[in-house]
Structure 1
Amino acid sequence: MARRFGRATSRCEEIQTHPRKMATSAVWLCLCLLFPSVAEAGLYTASDQIVLLTQENVKSVLINSTAAMVVEFYASWCGHCIAFSPTYKELASDIKEWKPAVDLAAIDCADQENTALCKSYKVEGYPTIKFFHAYSKPDYEGLPFGDVSRNVQDLRHKILDNLETHGEPWPPACPPLEPTSQMEVDVFFETNDVKHLALIFEDATSYVGREVTLDLLQFEGIAVRRVLNTEESLVTTLGVTEFPSCYLYYPGGNFTRLRVDIEARTFYSYALQRLPGVVRSGKPPPVSTELLKNNTEDPWRPFDKFRVYMADLESTLHYSLRVELGTQSVFQGQALTSLKAYISVLAKYFPGRPIVTNLLKDLNSWLQKQTGDRISYEAFKEKLENDAQSPNSTLPDGVRWVGCQGSEPHFRRYPCGVWTLFHVLTVQANSKGSDPQEVLRAMRSYVHNFFGCRECAAHFENMAAESLEEVDSLPTAVLWLWSRHNVVNNRLAGALSEDPQFPKIQWPPPDMCSACHAVKVNREHMWNQTEVLKFLLTYFSSDRILTDYLESESQILEKQREKHASQQVVHIAERRAREALDFRKHPLETEPTVQEEEEEEKGGEVEEEEEGPQDETAAEEEEEDEEDGLAGDMVGRSSEPTPWAKPEMELGHGRRQARKRPSFVRMRRDPQEDIVDLDSFVNQHYKAKALQMASSTRVKRRSLQRKEEQEPGPVFGLGMELGAGLGMVGLEPMDAGFDLDFARPRKRLQKRDVAGQYFDREAELSHKGRLISVLSIGFSKVDISLCVFLYFLSSLCLLVMYLFFKNRLRRRRPKISLP
C-alpha cells in the first residue's frame, strides 16, 4: 500500500518514533477523544452532497451503476481522515453539476457493520479513495487514486483522467470529453438540437474544456466542446489568438467570442449558463415580466437587483413574528431563550422605520422584564399587536415582497427574506455591536427552534456546529454568513425549490462585483474576501435600503386604530355573551316569595338578601323614611324600561334581572355619564311631582286590601321634544299602543304610605342609582358645567354680601355711654 501525506504511513495506528511525529499523533488522538459524537456519527452528513454507503445500500450504489463513482474509505477515528474531510466536502461542492456522470460517496470503515465490507474491497489504510467505473461488476474492487492530495484541483483532474480512460460502456449521461475537429463542427447542428455551441480553445495540458463541459451537463440548449490549439483550421477560421478562450458558434458559420472578466473555468461556466435559451434540465424556461404578473398572486413589482428593499424586511418580520412564532402556544426553556435573543438583536440592529423600531424596542423591554420560566404566545401577541396602543408603534400587517418575490407563489419569498434580514443585521452589528457572534448565535438558535423547514434547520445547524466558533471578529461574522449562504445555494441548485427566474448561484456574481472574483496561479477560482467584505457592507448598508412599495406610516397607524376598534367591539360582544350565558347558568338573585310579601304587608321585618357593599348613609335615610311615613313621597321605578336606561333582560325569558341596591359610594358609573351636583338637585327637585311621575314609567295604585290592584292609570313619559333645560321637560301621555307587557309583572317587596299607595320597592331602591341618568336627559356637558359655575358664583356673591353688611353694621353700632 502506497504511503500517503509524505512520510506518514497510511495506517493511523502506526506511529513513527520521531518526536515531531509522536507529538502530531498525540494531537490527533486527543481530537478523537474530545469529539466522540463525530466518531459515532461519521464525518459526513447528507447535507454534504455525499452518498453515505452502508452494508445495505452499497450494492445498489456501486454495482451496475449508470454513473461513475468516487468512494472514500475512511475511519472516523483517524486523524488524517478528519483533516481530509473538509477537502472531500469541498470537492463534492465543486463538482456538484457533474452528478449525472460522476458522483461522490463515502463509507465509515470504523463502524463494525462496515468492517467486512471495507475488507472485501482490499482497503488496508485510511483514507483510501477509489474510482468505480459505470456498470461495475460485483467483484470489481475499484481503481485507487494513489496518493491522496488535499488539493481540490488535483482530485478533480484525477477524476477526469479516469473518465477519459473509462472505456466501454461509457456513462450514458457523460458527454464526450475528447477534442473536436473542423469536420464535426461543420455537421454539428445537423445532428444536435441546441441553440448554442461553445468551443473552448486550449492546449493539450489544460483541463478547462473538460471541466466546463461537465459543468454544463445539467443544462439544456447548449453543448460544449474543447478544441486544441493544434486544430489549425478552426483556429484560423475563428481567428483565435489566446488560449484558453471561448467562442460561440452558430449555424451557417456565424460565431462570436464570449466576453468574460477572466479566462477561467468558473467565469466560462457562469456566462454560458446565463445565455438566452439555456435552462436547467427539467426546469421551465424563465418567463417575461408580463407573464410573471399572471403567475403570482400579487402584481409583479419591478426592482433593482443591486439594492435591498425595506418591504422585504418588514414582510419577513410579519411572517416570522405573527405566523412562524404563532405555531408555538408557549415559549419555555431553550425556546424562550431563543426568542429573547432574537428580539434583542432585532431591537438593537434592525434599521427600520421609527414605528417598527419603537415596537421592537418595547417588545424587547417587555421580554427582558419577564422573570418567569414560560411565556404564552397570546401574551407575546398582545404586546406585538400593541393592544396598549402606545403612540407611533406598530408592525405592518401582511407581506409585500419586492426583491424576494418569485415567479411562482411557492418560490423564494420568506426564505429569501430570512437570509436578507440576517445579512442586514450582521452588517449593522459590524458598526454598532461588540460581540462577533451575537447575531449569528441568535440566527442559529432561531432557525433551530422555530424555522418551519426542519430539514433546512438541520443543515444549517450542521454548518454552524462545524465552524461558527471560528468567528472571532465582526467582519468575520459578515463573511461567515455570506460563505454559508453560498454553500446553501450550491446545495439547492437544481432542486425543486429553485426558481428558474432566479437560479441559485455563487453570490455575488461577476456582473455584480467583478473585483470579488480572482484566480490563483493555477487558474483556479478564488474569492477576494477583502473586496467581498466591501461589497457586503455597501450592499446591506442601512443607507441604501429602498423604501419603495411601502405604505406611509400614517396609513399604517390609521389601520391599526381601526383594527383595535373592531377588536374592541368583538371583545365587548363576546364578553356580554359570556356574561349572559353565565347568568343563565348561575342567577345572581332569587325572586321574593309570596310568603315574604305577606310578612311585609303585615308589618313584619323583611330580610333582604345580600347584594354587595351598600352605602350606610343611604340605608339609614331609608329607614328614617319608613318610620316617618314618607315613603309615599319617594319616586319609584317601574318594571318597565325608560327611554334613558336599558333594562337588563334575562336571556331567553324576557325577564329583567334582579338589580343590586344602588350605592353612590361604590357605584359603577357609565363612562359617558355626566357628574352633577346631587345636593343642589335633590334640594330643588327631589320632591317635585312632575319629576316623580317622569322618573317612573308606570305607577300602580292599590287599595288597602291585599292583592287587590286598581286599574292602572295613565302612563306618562318625558316629553323629549321640549327644551333641553330641566324646566322645559314635560310629561306626555304615552301612546295607547305602547307596549307595556314586555316586562312581565311579578310580585315584589312593596312599601305602603299613609294614603295607602304602593310603590315598587325595587324602583325605590334603584332611584338613587338612576338619578344621574335622569339628570342627563336634555343636558349637555356644557350646560351642566355652566349650572355648576353659576351655582358657585351665586354662593360666592351671597358670601361677599353677607360679609359686607356684617362689617358695615358693626361700624354703625351706636356707642352707649355709662352714667
Structure 2
Amino acid sequence: MARRCATSRWFTDIYPVFLCLWLYVPCPAETGLYTASDQILLLSRENVDSVLVNSTAAMVVEFYASWCGHCVAFSPFYKKLARDTKEWKPAVNIAAIDCAPEENREVCRDFRITGYPTIKFFHAYSEAGSLGFTSFLFPANIRDVPDLRHKTIDSLEGNKDPWPPACPPLEPISQAEVDVFFETNSALHLALIFENANSYIGREVTLDLLQFENIAVRRVLDSETSLVTKLGVTDFPSCYLYYPGGNFTRLRVNNEARMFYTYALQGLRGVVRSGKATVVLTEIQSNSTKEPWRQFNNSHVYMADLESALHYSLRVELAAHDIIRGDALNALKKYISVLAKYFPGRPVVVNLLKTLKAWLQDQTENKISYKAFEDVLDNRVQVPHTALPEGVRWVGCQGSQPHFRRYPCGVWTLFHVLSVQANSTGGSDPVEVLSAMRSYIHHFFGCRACAEHFENMAQEGLEQVGTLPSAVLWLWFRHNQVNNRISGDLSEDPFFPKIQWPSPETCPACHTVNEKREHKWSKDEVLSFLLSHYSSSNILTDYLEDENKILEKQNEKHRLQNLAYQKHLERKAREAPNAVTPSPPTPTQEEEEEEEGPQDETEAYGEEEVEDEEEGGEGAYRPSKVPGMKFRERRYDHRFPSIIGMKFREKADDIVDLDSFVNQNFKDKALQLAALSRVKQRTLQTKVELDHKPVFGLGMELDTALGMIGLQPVDTDLEPSQRGQRLQKRELSGQYFGGEVKLSHKGRWMSALSIGFSNLDISLCIFLYFLSSMCLLAMYVFFKNRLRRRRAKPKTVNFT
C-alpha cells in the first residue's frame, strides 16, 4: 500500500490555523524546504535526468511536498544527514525534489510517488527510466540521523554491481590482504578499525576519509582471530596504524568513536585532501617575501586581527557604497553601535568608534555619503587621541597564501569577541550582536554568496535565541556549519583545514559520546571554553603598532591633505587670475569663527562652491554637525576652462525687459564680489576687527553697485581710528564695484561676446575686424576709381 503523509491529532487540530497563515505568507512551494547552502542537490524537471541517469555516484533522493507537515518536520534531519555525509560525496550524493510545484508534479508521477516524504536510492550508472529502489523507503517517523546514515550504507552495499568508482571497498579485510597491502597500494598509512559485525564505525570512517590521500582505512571484524591475536586487540571498537614490515601502533583518541577516529587520521603526517599539496611552515616562511610569517599561539586571540578586520570593513567594504541609505544606513548604525559598545580595543580605537556612533546618531536624513563618513573615520576634525590604524596586519588569521583566510577569519573572530563581551558585560538584548552581524553581512559583506548562505542560516534559528549565552552558542554552531560547508573547497587553506571547532586537542571536555557511541557536544563545556577563549583577558597585543606612531601618521596625513588642498586653490587662482580665492583658515582663525557664531555658508566657502553642492546631488559631500565638533568642507573639484564644453544658449524672444535684465546682472555681480571680498576680509582682518564685525553680510558695496540703501549698520560703537579704516575700506569697495558697473554699461553685446574668451582676445578680434574692414574699403575705393577713369577715356576713330 502506498504510504501517505501521516497526520496526527495535534496536526489535525492546528491545520485550519496553519492553512490561514499559509495564505498570508509566501508559499513554501516557491522556495521549497532546502537551499543550496544545505549541501543538498536540488532537483527539478530540467536537471533530474542529467543527475540521476548514468551518474558515477549513488544518489539518495527525497521526494517531498512543501505543504506536508511531516516533510517540514523531517527536513532538519535530512539537512543534518547531508552535512554528516558531506565527505562521502564522490561515492554518495544527497538530493531532494519538491513535488508541490506544478512543473515538478509530472516528474514525481513518473517515479511513482504517491505519498510524502518518500526517499529512494539510485545506484551508480542508473539507466534512463529507473525508478530507484523502493526498499530504501524510510519510515516517516525516523528522527535519528545515525539510522539514516546506516540505511544509506546498507543500500550502497546491497547494490555492488555496479560499484561507484570513487568508493573504496567496505567489506572486512583479512590478514592475507593486510600482509600484501603495501605491495599493491601507495598509501603511507593503513588504519585498521577492529569492531563487531553489526558496527558501522569502520565503514563510516572509510567514507569520511574518501577525499584524502596517503591514508587507507579498512575494517577488521573481531572474528578475524589471526589479526586480533597478532596485534593484541582487546577493545572493540579500536583503531591501529599498520606499517610495512609488520609494525603497528594503536591510535590514541579520547573516545573510541567515529568522529575521533576521523579527526585523528586526518591529522596524520602526509595526509592531505585530494588535489591539494602538503604545506609546511618552512615553505611558508621562505616563499612569503612581501609579508613575513608571524608566529602565533592558536589558543589566543590577537588584537591585530581585530583591528585589521575593522580597517577592511570600514575603509574597504563600506567604501564600495558611495551613498548609504535606508536599511543599509540602519544596518551601519547598528554595526557601529555594537562596536562602540562592546569592542575591547585600545583607547584610540574605542574613541574613534564612539565618535562614529555619535556622528551617525546625529544624522537626520535617510542617507549619508561615504565621503562624509570617511572624514569622521579619518578624524579630519582632529579629535585628540582618536585614530584607527590603516592597513592590515594579520596574525592568528594569516594564511599560507595571500588569498587564504584573513578577512573572513577576522570577521568571525570579531563577532565571536563581541558576543562574548555582550555576555560578560550583561547586555540587555540577546540578539543585539547577532542582529548587527546579520544586517551588516546582508548589506555590505563583499562575498554575496556567503551573505546569502548566512541569511539562510539566520532565518532558520535566530528567533530561538533568548539569552546571551545562547547567542554565543548560536554563533559558534553556525560557524561550524560554515566550516563543514566549505571544507574541501578551493578557498580552504591546506595549512589550516576546516574542522569542527574546538578540536579534541583544544578542548577535550567539549567532546563526548552518547549511548550509541555517536559524537556529542557538551554544550556547557563549549560555552565555558568560548567565554574564556574570546574574553578580553585572552587577547594579545603582539605585533601592534604603537599608538603614538599611529597618531603621528594621522597628523602627517592631514598635513599633506591640507598642503594638497592649498596647492589646488593656488592652481585654481592661476587659472582664473581675476578671481579672489579663499585660503584655508588657520586653527586660530577657526576659533575666531566659532566665537563669531554661525556664518552664512556663502561667506565660508564662496558662492560658487555652494552652488556646486546644490548641483552635486547625492554624491556631493556636505559637512555635518557633531556636538562639540566643527566640520569644514574640503572640495577637490578639477575645473576646466570655461571654453571647454561651451554651449550656445537658446534663442530668446526679441522683446526683453531691459530694466530687470540690467538690475539682475548688476545684482549678481555685486553679490558675488561682496562674498569674495568678505572671504578676503575674514582672512586678513585682525581679531579686534572680527570682534566688531557687523551682523549683516552686505555693506556699502551694494549701495554703490545697486544704488540701494545699505544693510550694514552704522558703526557707532567703534573708535574714530577704526571708523576711519572702515570708511576707507567701503570707499575702496565702492570704487571697485563702480568700475564693474561702468564696464557693464559699455554694452551688453560685449559681455555676450566675451563668453569663453579673455579681454585680450576680444580686443584683438575687434582690431583685426576693423583692419580688415579698412582694407576692404580701400580696395573698394581703388577699383571704383579705376573703373571710372576707364569709362571717362575718349575713344579715337581712324577715318583713313
Which bin holds the TM-score, normalised by the shorter protein?
A: 0.7 to 0.9
Instruction: Encode CA deviations 1:527-565: one digit per residue, 9 max, x unaligned.
Output: 100000000000000111000000111111111111111
What is the deviation of 1:575? 2.1
| 1:129 aligned partner | 119
Instruction: Encode CA deviations 1:288-320: one digit per residue, 9 max, x unaligned.
Output: 235344236310000000000000000000000
- Matching of residues 577-592 of structure 1 within 5 Å: 577-583=571-577
Aligned counterparts of 1:583 and 1:39: Cα–Cα separation in 2: 71
- Matching of residues 692-771 of structure 1 within 5 Å: none
Aligned letter for 2:198?
T
What is the deviation of 1:31? 6.2
Assess, with a 3 A threshold, how the Cα gap between structure 1 residues 28 and 99 changes in structure 2: closer, same or farther. Answer: farther
Matched, 1:387 2:377: no
Matched, 1:458 2:448: no
Aligned counterparts of 1:241 and 1:32: Cα–Cα separation in 2: 58
What is the deviation of 1:581? 2.6
What is the deviation of 1:140? 1.5
| 1:487 aligned partner | 481
Q: Which segments of 5 or more consecutive residues in structure 1 lack a partner in the other structure?
A: 4-9, 589-611, 614-650, 652-658, 683-743, 745-819
Aligned counterparts of 1:553 and 1:95: Cα–Cα separation in 2: 49
8 Å Cα contact 2:580/2:676 also seen in 1: no
Matched, 1:234 2:227: yes
Larger relative helix fraction: 2
Instruction: Encode CA deviations 1:782-805: one digit per residue, 9 max, x unaligned.
Output: xxxxxxxxxxxxxxxxxxxxxxxx
Assess, with a 3 A threshold, how the Cα gap between structure 1 residues 32 and 191 changes in structure 2: closer, same or farther. Answer: farther
Aligned counterparts of 1:177 and 1:26: Cα–Cα separation in 2: 49
| 1:532 aligned partner | 526
Aligned letter for 1:570?
A
Aligned counterparts of 1:568 and 1:244: Cα–Cα separation in 2: 73
| 1:437 aligned partner | 431
Instruction: Encode CA deviations 1:351-405: one digit per residue, 9 max, x unaligned.
Output: 0000000000011011101111111101100000000111100000100000000
Aligned letter for 1:521?
E
| 1:402 aligned partner | 395
- Matching of residues 93-492 of structure 1 within 5 Å: 93-144=83-134, 145-146=136-137, 147-148=139-140, 149-295=142-288, 297-432=290-425, 433-492=427-486
Aligned counterparts of 1:37 and 1:308: Cα–Cα separation in 2: 44
Assess, with a 3 A threshold, how the Cα gap between structure 1 residues 577 and 529 changes in structure 2: closer, same or farther. Answer: same
8 Å Cα contact 2:351/2:386 also seen in 1: yes
Aligned counterparts of 2:469 and 2:674: Cα–Cα separation in 1: 71
Aligned counterparts of 2:523 and 2:106: Cα–Cα separation in 1: 46
Say which SS state the counterpart of residue 252 (structure 1) adopts.
coil
Matched, 1:541 2:535: yes
Aligned letter for 2:525?
E
Say which SS state the counterpart of residue 364 (structure 1) adopts.
helix
Assess, with a 3 A threshold, how the Cα gap between structure 1 residues 672 and 136 changes in structure 2: closer, same or farther. Answer: farther
4+ residue runs over 6 A deviation: 659-666, 671-675
Instruction: Encode CA deviations 1:611-652: one digit per residue, 9 max, x unaligned.
Output: x99xxxxxxxxxxxxxxxxxxxxxxxxxxxxxxxxxxxxx9x
Say which SS state the counterpart of residue 247 (structure 1) adopts.
strand
Assess, with a 3 A threshold, how the Cα gap between structure 1 residues 182 and 665 changes in structure 2: closer, same or farther. Answer: closer
8 Å Cα contact 2:2/2:115 also seen in 1: no
Matched, 1:569 2:569: no
What is the deviation of 1:583? 4.0
What is the deviation of 1:32? 4.3
Matched, 1:86 2:76: yes
Larger CA deviation: 301-310 vs 425-434:
425-434
8 Å Cα contact 1:32/1:77 also seen in 2: no
Aligned letter for 1:407?
S
Aligned counterparts of 2:529 and 2:679: Cα–Cα separation in 1: 71
Aligned counterparts of 1:673 and 1:167: Cα–Cα separation in 2: 97
Aligned counterparts of 1:479 and 1:661: Cα–Cα separation in 2: 63
Assess, with a 3 A threshold, how the Cα gap between structure 1 residues 108 and 569 changes in structure 2: closer, same or farther. Answer: same
- Matching of residues 612-627 of structure 1 within 5 Å: none
What is the deviation of 1:673? 11
| 1:503 aligned partner | 497
Which of residues 508, 511, 520 in structure 2 aligns to 1:517?
511
Say which SS state the counterpart of residue 78 (structure 2) adopts.
helix
- Matching of residues 14-53 of structure 1 within 5 Å: 20=10, 22-23=12-13, 25-26=15-16, 29=19, 32-33=22-23, 35-53=25-43
Larger CA deviation: 197-206 vs 550-559:
550-559
8 Å Cα contact 1:475/1:533 also seen in 2: yes
- Matching of residues 46-61 of structure 1 within 5 Å: 46-61=36-51
Assess, with a 3 A threshold, how the Cα gap between structure 1 residues 363 and 60 changes in structure 2: closer, same or farther. Answer: same
Larger CA deviation: 216-225 vs 109-118:
109-118
What is the deviation of 1:111? 1.1
Aligned counterparts of 1:125 and 1:191: Cα–Cα separation in 2: 49
Assess, with a 3 A threshold, how the Cα gap between structure 1 residues 151 and 26 changes in structure 2: closer, same or farther. Answer: farther
Aligned letter for 2:439?
S
Which of residues 54, 57, 65 in structure 2 aligns to 1:67?
57
Aligned counterparts of 2:376 and 2:263: Cα–Cα separation in 1: 48
Aligned counterparts of 1:28 and 1:264: Cα–Cα separation in 2: 42
Say which SS state the counterpart of residue 376 (structure 2) adopts.
helix
8 Å Cα contact 1:338/1:446 also seen in 2: yes
8 Å Cα contact 2:580/2:680 also seen in 1: no
Assess, with a 3 A threshold, how the Cα gap between structure 1 residues 263 and 509 changes in structure 2: closer, same or farther. Answer: same
Instruction: Encode CA deviations 1:329-356: one digit per residue, 9 max, x unaligned.
Output: 0111011101100000000000000000
8 Å Cα contact 2:302/2:396 also seen in 1: yes
Aligned counterparts of 2:170 and 2:393: Cα–Cα separation in 1: 48
Aligned counterparts of 2:182 and 2:83: Cα–Cα separation in 1: 33
8 Å Cα contact 2:123/2:162 also seen in 1: no
What is the deviation of 1:28? 5.4
Assess, with a 3 A threshold, how the Cα gap between structure 1 residues 546 and 118 changes in structure 2: closer, same or farther. Answer: same
Aligned counterparts of 2:419 and 2:10: Cα–Cα separation in 1: 42
Aligned counterparts of 1:107 and 1:119: Cα–Cα separation in 2: 12
Say which SS state the counterpart of residue 251 (structure 1) adopts.
coil
Say which SS state the counterpart of residue 415 (structure 1) adopts.
helix
- Matching of residues 762-801 of structure 1 within 5 Å: none
Say which SS state the counterpart of residue 348 (structure 1) adopts.
helix
- Larger of the two Rg values belongs to structure: 1
Aligned counterparts of 1:666 and 1:75: Cα–Cα separation in 2: 77
8 Å Cα contact 2:211/2:273 also seen in 1: yes
Aligned letter for 1:229?
D
Aligned counterparts of 2:676 and 2:299: Cα–Cα separation in 1: 71
8 Å Cα contact 1:29/1:79 also seen in 2: no
Assess, with a 3 A threshold, how the Cα gap between structure 1 residues 671 and 277 changes in structure 2: closer, same or farther. Answer: farther
Aligned counterparts of 1:297 and 1:91: Cα–Cα separation in 2: 44
What is the deviation of 1:503? 0.4
Instruction: Encode CA deviations 1:687-719: one digit per residue, 9 max, x unaligned.
Output: xxxxxxxxxxxxxxxxxxxxxxxxxxxxxxxxx
Say which SS state the counterpart of residue 317 (structure 2) adopts.
helix
Aligned letter for 1:118?
C
| 1:560 aligned partner | 554
Instruction: Encode CA deviations 1:92-143: one digit per residue, 9 max, x unaligned.
Output: 0000000000000000000111111111111110000001011111121111
Say which SS state the counterpart of residue 87 (structure 1) adopts.
helix
Aligned counterparts of 2:688 and 2:332: Cα–Cα separation in 1: 47
